[in-house]
Amino acid sequence: MNASHFFSQYFKIIEEKLSSIDVAQLEQATDMVRKIHSVGKKVIVVGNGGSAAMASHVAVDFTKAAKIRAVNFNEADLLTCLANDFGYENWVSKALEFYADQGDLVILISSSGKSQNILNGAKKAKEMGLFVITVSGFLPDNPLRELGNLNLWVDSTEYNIVEMTHHVWLVAIIDYMIETKGIE
């Protein structure tokens, strides 16, 4: 396959996946963020690997660009401390115990929807009375999709396709909020 054909097909797939979401779900996510912000709560964004990098970007953009208080857990000392003391599968739930307040919104990102630390975090978030948006891909029946108040899912098993689609959906929510500030 030549480069021109590969890139053409790749971008076609990305475009297809980006457009596959029911925009009502993005509207619902926006409404959830606006609601928690209006009562002084925060957004917590969590992921692993590339999704952790995405979580950082999204949290910073919520805070700086949209003026919505948001945090993520990407400090190496925090992750290694919690993983060492409680097990890697429990670091997200422990971080939520330490940093989340009832009524906060947690956005949990897992490409496969099977990351045990993210699944445990979703369960802990529900126990704590947090609102949960899950962002996943791969199989339509992945376990993460069962745990959110809202579940954004992309139909692909390719990590980069899934992650790029997630990233664009999340920054689109932020850009929409910036665009409509004061209108809604």
18-69 pLDDT, tens digit per residue, is 999 999 999 999 999 999 999 999 999 999 999 999 999 999 999 999 999 9
Whole-model pTM: value is 0.96
Per-residue model confidence (pLDDT) at position 184: 52
Q: Which residues of 4-28 are buried (b: 16+ CB within 10 A; e: fewer)?
A: eeeeeeeeeebeebeeebeeebbee
**Containing structural domain, residue 83:** 25-179
pLDDT category of residue 183 using cuts at 50, 70 and 90: low
Number of domains in the chain: 1
Does residue 74 belong to any structural domain of this protein? yes
Would you tell me the crossing angle of helices 159-179 and 3-18 to the nearest 10 degrees? 50
Q: Does the pLDDT of residue 139 top 90, yes or no? A: yes
Does residue 15 belong to any structural domain of this protein? no
Q: What are the Cα distances from residue 92, in Å, to 34, 55, 82, 176?
A: 24, 13, 8, 28
Does residue 19 belong to any structural domain of this protein? no
Question: Could you tell me which of 180, 181, 169 has the C-alpha nearest to residue 57?
Answer: 169
Does residue 103 belong to any structural domain of this protein? yes
CATH code of 73's domain: 3.40.50.10490
Q: Does the pLDDT of residue 1 top 80, yes or no? A: no
Average pLDDT over the chain, rounded to whole?
Answer: 96
Does residue 125 belong to any structural domain of this protein? yes
Does residue 17 belong to any structural domain of this protein? no
Beta bridge partners of 135: 109, 152
